[in-house]
Amino acid sequence: MKDKKAVLVSFVIERNDDGYLASVPSIQGAFAEGDSIEEAIFNCVDVLKMIFTYRSERSEPIGVDTISLSSNTKMTVALSVYPQGHGRGDYQRGRPCEVIHR
């Protein structure tokens, strides 16, 4: 396995007029829109990759901690899930969490 690294970031998902906005508050410029929560997150991940590539080409720190990955690395992904029917729709607006998924 090549030398690979992972970055763990927290996303904030908000509903807007055109769908959803995903942002990473800890990284300047890391935000994107999408018609669905998933699309907004995937678009934001693409923006993050561009930011990380830009910074690494200039030998700048990427601004977040990285984790070295090997074939024995085990990872856990946390998803915050808000059940429907609590009078707030499918998610709680503006509440920061790692990922909101329905």
CATH of the domain at 43: 3.30.160
Range of the domain at 71: 1-102
Q: How many domains does the chain have?
A: 1
Q: Which residues contact 3 (CB under 8 A, 6 or more apart)?
A: 68
- pLDDT by residue for the chain (102 residues), tens only, comes to 566 777 778 888 999 998 999 999 889 999 999 999 999 999 999 999 999 899 989 999 877 777 777 777 776 666 565 554 544 444 444 444 444 443
Backbone torsions φ then ψ of 74, nearest 5 degrees: -115, 135
